[in-house]
Amino acid sequence: MSLLTMILKMSEGLGKTCAIFFLTLLFSLPLGMVVALLRMSRSKIISSIMRFFITVLRGTPLMLQLLAVTYGPYYLFGATVARNKLIPVVIAFAINYAAYFAEIYRGGIESIPVGQYEAAEVLGYSKFQTFMRIILPQVIKRILPSVTNEVVTLVKDTSMAFTVSYQEMFTIGKQIANSQTSFMPFVVAGVFYYLFNAIVDYVMGRIEKRLDYYR
Amino acid sequence: MKKILCMLIALAMVLALCACGQSAAPAAEEKKTFIMGIDPEYPPFSYLGDDGNYSGFDVEICQAVCDSLGWELKIFGVNWDEKLVQLDAKECDCVWSGMTILDSMKEAGYVISAPYYDNTQVLVVKSDSGFTSSADLAGKIVAVQLGTSGEALLNGDLADLASSFSSVLTCDSFLKCFTELEGGAVDAVFVDLPVAASYVAGKDNLAIIDENLGAEQYGIAFRSSDAELCAQVEAAVAELVANGTYAEIASKPEYAEIVNNLIFLGD
């Protein structure tokens, strides 16, 4: 198999890798905010439930979570295993990443001095307005580097979808490596991931620059 | 100056190491030498190991056979396409290297040992699915385990069969393949017969389609005049099986993918 066919075959899987990546971000970024806000809730019950949720998701391997989401329903209730593996894969990834994002959001929100809330109250802002117009814009600026970190990790984590037989780029690479007894597919995969992350880096850098007002 | 000195020392060390490799024991005269013909590129049966020596399942078994018979083992890497010619030319005494037994070999008069490895592949389906042959699975999804002979067959000799399926799902363990099947995500699992038999045993919901796909067995080839030698080797192997050495070698992690198909270890 020539290098070109290898690259072409693996780029077929790249679309599926991208699907995991974008859908995960689409769901986990907002979900993380919900979790973060509930985690900071005044109600002890809600905040401890969320705390538990976060410790479980951060404290167990993503690979196990993928297996649990994909095959768990079958083993527990005899439910059908999904034919389209993208659904369980995205559910597992989105929940897992939401837990990490939630903690990043919380760190950002808690870093804003209390004085700003007080000032906003004096100026007659409602709680919602304070959060949306004063707190959140600052939070986003502050947490962006940490979020970039997670996004970069996500690109590489997509390869874990292999464990539930989702045919993304790395899965195909492994198959080629096996049938051709060649190490080349792994090199190709490495280059693909690097290029993907170079783009992520560039985009996130641009966003950071755009938000870099007042400095 | 120091650098040059260092390099010289390094060179001397490397040469010393080379010398170690060269100092293979000279053949003891009274010992019978048994020359094993192998394909040096057929892991895990026979291959050039990391340490530069020939290694692999067949090599280890042959070494054990020679040890028990008091022979000295020599290994000869054959040109696989010409293996039988080289056997006739007495370049080696046998061809023992994951060799598929072909009827043409027996017809040509070669002495072939009893098969020791069963490479038969089968399809496992749900018993209520109504599938009875591989043809019924046209347009269906079939799971196969990555890195198994089944996967290799679907990419090679059985590519036509593979293309009749709607897709082939590659799982990283056979348990996942079967979970996909039982969970209804795939319609069949393509797997080694021994693995299929042990998994399906005692399960009413699964059935093996009675059709041997890619059926082949491995054996050892000897020259037509060496029936006695073949019997000697077979007897020695049988002894290794009986005293557990065979199972011990087969249980090494590097042979995990072939251990289920070894005929002598079947129950």
**Separation between Cα atoms, residue B148 and residue B44, nearest integer Å:** 12
**CA-closest candidate to residue A192, choices A19, A66, A8, A28:** A8
- Nearest chain B residue to A83 by CA distance is B185
**Separation between Cα atoms, residue A214 and residue A178, nearest integer Å:** 54
Question: Which uninterrupted H or E stretch holds B168?
Answer: strand B167-171
Provide the pLDDT for residue B71: 93
Q: Which residue ranges form the domains of chain B, and what is each CATH number?
A: 33-117+216-265 (3.40.190.10), 120-208 (3.40.190.10)
How far does B188 lie from chain A, in Å, by closest CA? 13
**Separation between Cα atoms, residue B45 and residue A138, nearest integer Å:** 63
Residue B25: pLDDT band (50, 70, 90) is very low
Question: Residue B185 and residue A71: Cβ atoms within 8 Å?
Answer: no
- What tens digit of pLDDT does each residue of B172-227 get? 888 889 999 999 999 999 988 877 887 888 788 999 998 888 778 899 999 999 99
Side-chain-side CA neighbours of residue B232 (13 Å): 16
- Let me know: does A23 contact A94? Beta carbons within 8 Å: yes
As separate numbers, helices (DSSP H) first and strands (DSSP E) second, chain B gives: 10, 14
Rounded average pLDDT over B107-135: 90
Question: Residue A165 and residue B141: Cβ atoms within 8 Å?
Answer: no
Q: What is the 3-state secondary structure (H, E, C) of A45-101?
A: HHHHHHHHHHHHHHHCCHHHHHHHHHHHHHHHHCCCCCCCCHHHHHHHHHHHHHHHH
Residue A23: pLDDT band (50, 70, 90) is very high
Q: Which residue ranges form the domains of chain A, and what is each CATH number?
A: 15-169 (1.10.3720.10)
What are the φ/ψ torsions at residue B257 (nearest 5 degrees)? -80, -15
How far does B110 lie from chain A, in Å, by closest CA? 32
Query: Average per-residue pLDDT in chain B?
Result: 84
Residue at B231: amino acid letter: A
How far does B210 lie from chain A, in Å, by closest CA? 26
Considering only CB atoms, A165 lies closest to which of B147, B180, B182, namely B180
- What tens digit of pLDDT does each residue of A116-163 get? 999 999 999 999 999 999 999 999 999 999 999 999 999 999 999 988
Query: Which residues in chain A are contacts of B169 at CB distance < 8 A?
Result: 165, 167
Which one-letter DSSP state was computed for residue B115? P
- Nearest chain A residue to B172 by CA distance is A163
Helix (H/G/I), strand (E/B), else coil: B241: helix
Residue A106: pLDDT band (50, 70, 90) is very high
- Nearest chain B residue to A80 by CA distance is B183
Whether the per-residue pLDDT at B51 is higher than 90: the answer is no
Let me know how long chain A is: 215
**CA-closest candidate to residue A38, choices A98, A111, A91:** A98
Considering only CB atoms, A81 lies closest to which of B146, B170, B183, namely B183
Question: Residue B170 and residue A165: Cβ atoms within 8 Å?
Answer: yes
CA dihedral of A101, A103, A106, A111, whole degrees rounded to 10: -110
Whether the per-residue pLDDT at B8 is higher than 80: the answer is no
More confidently predicted of B77 and B20 = B77
Q: What pTM value is reported for the model? A: 0.68
Quick check: A165 contacting B, CB < 8 Å? yes
Considering only CB atoms, B179 lies closest to which of A71, A82, A83, namely A71
Sheet holding B46-48, edge to edge: B41-42, B46-48, B54-55
Q: What angle do CA B204, A165, B147 make, to 5 degrees?
A: 85
- Nearest chain B residue to A82 by CA distance is B185
Considering only CB atoms, B180 lies closest to which of A81, A163, A179, namely A81
Question: Residue A165 and residue B171: Cβ atoms within 8 Å?
Answer: yes
Question: Residue A163 and residue B155: Cβ atoms within 8 Å?
Answer: no
- % helix / strand / coil in chain B, to the nearest 5? 40, 25, 35
Considering only CB atoms, B184 lies closest to which of A75, A81, A179, namely A81
- Burial label for B226, CB within 10 Å (0-12, 13-18, 19+), is middle
Using DSSP bridges, classify how beta strands B141-145 and B167-171 pair: parallel, antiparallel or unpaired.
parallel
Considering only CB atoms, B183 lies closest to which of A80, A162, A178, namely A80
Q: How far is CA A171 from CA A24, A117, A177, B148, in A?
A: 19, 50, 10, 15
Question: Which uninterrupted H or E stretch holds B55?
Answer: strand B54-55
Question: Residue B185 and residue A82: Cβ atoms within 8 Å?
Answer: yes
A:B CB pairs within 8 Å: 43
Considering only CB atoms, B155 lies closest to which of A165, A167, A179, namely A179
Whether the per-residue pLDDT at A198 is higher than 90: the answer is yes
Query: Which residues in chain A are contacts of B182 at CB distance < 8 A?
Result: 74
Q: Which segment of A94-98, A127-131, A162-166, B41-45 scores lowest on mean pLDDT?
A: B41-45
**CA-closest candidate to residue B84, choices B62, B58, B102, B59:** B102
How far does B147 lie from chain A, in Å, by closest CA? 6
Would residue B184 be called left, alpha or beta, if left means φ above 0 and alpha means ψ between -120 and 50 degrees? left
Q: For helices A184-210 and A3-39, what crossing angle results, to 10°?
A: 40
How far does A83 lie from chain B, in Å, by closest CA? 5
Provide the pLDDT for residue B140: 92
**Those residues with Cβ within 8 angstroms of residue B246's Cβ, 6 or more apart along the chain or in another chain:** B61, B64, B237, B240, B264, B265
Provide the pLDDT for residue A46: 95
Quick check: A171 contacting B, CB < 8 Å? yes
Question: Residue A179 and residue B179: Cβ atoms within 8 Å?
Answer: no
Provide the pLDDT for residue B27: 45
Question: Which uninterrupted H or E stretch holds A192?
Answer: helix A184-210
How far does B151 lie from chain A, in Å, by closest CA? 8
B190 DSSP β-pair partners? B123, B144
Question: Residue A165 and residue B147: Cβ atoms within 8 Å?
Answer: no
**Those residues with Cβ within 8 angstroms of residue B43's Cβ, 6 or more apart along the chain or in another chain:** B56
More confidently predicted of B192 and A92 = A92
- % helix / strand / coil in chain A, to the nearest 5? 85, 0, 15
Residue B10: pLDDT band (50, 70, 90) is low
Provide the pLDDT for residue B28: 45
Ordered DSSP codes for B175-212: HHHHHHHHTTS-SEEEEEHHHHHHHHTT-TTEEE-S--
Residue B26: pLDDT band (50, 70, 90) is very low
Whether the per-residue pLDDT at B84 is higher than 70: the answer is yes
Percent of chain A whose pLDDT exceeds 70: 99
Residue at A156: amino acid letter: K
Residue at B204: amino acid letter: D
- Nearest chain A residue to B141 by CA distance is A83
From first CA to last CA, the distance across chain A in angstroms is: 54
Question: Residue B146 and residue A82: Cβ atoms within 8 Å?
Answer: no
**CA-closest candidate to residue A32, choices A67, A58, A66:** A58
Question: Which uninterrupted H or E stretch holds B40?
Answer: none
Residue B2: pLDDT band (50, 70, 90) is low
- Let me know: does A209 contact A198? Beta carbons within 8 Å: no
Query: Which residues in chain B are contacts of A71 at CB distance < 8 A?
Result: 176, 179, 183
